[in-house]
Amino acid sequence: MPVSAGLKLTPDRPAPKVPPLEDLDLEQAVLPRDAFFAETEQVEDPAGIISAEMISPYPPGVPAVLPGERFNAAVVDHLRAGKAAGMNMPDASDPDLTTFRVVRTG
């Protein structure tokens, strides 16, 4: 039966939230190697903290966060909205994005 025959299709997941592109441009605070091999911890709210991992939502599979970059709230919201919309996070330490691996502070 064609869709035009009165069937109404609704998505089963929310559409991913995409912030302005400039909000996705993270500050490279330390060298990637230094961040990757630093002492780390898992945190629920990484905004303002340096990432110790790469996170590449799939699709498209392009890194959104690299080790050494400082998280901001827009990127965290974008990643979690993408996860809710069905994106996979194959290289995140916590693929559910409940927590993020960051460089230990203090």
Condensed to tens digits (0 to 9), the pLDDT of residues 88-105 reads 999 999 999 999 999 998
If you compute the radius of gyration of the chain from its CA atoms, what whole number of angstroms results?
A: 16
Condensed to tens digits (0 to 9), the pLDDT of residues 11-34 reads 677 676 677 888 889 999 999 999
Please tell me which residue, 5 or 95, carries the higher pLDDT value: 95
3-state secondary structure of 32: helix
Distance between CA atoms of residues 89 and 77, nearest Å: 14
Condensed to tens digits (0 to 9), the pLDDT of residues 40-56 reads 999 999 999 999 999 99
Condensed to tens digits (0 to 9), the pLDDT of residues 67-91 reads 999 999 999 999 999 999 899 999 9
Q: Which CATH class is domain 27-103?
A: alpha beta
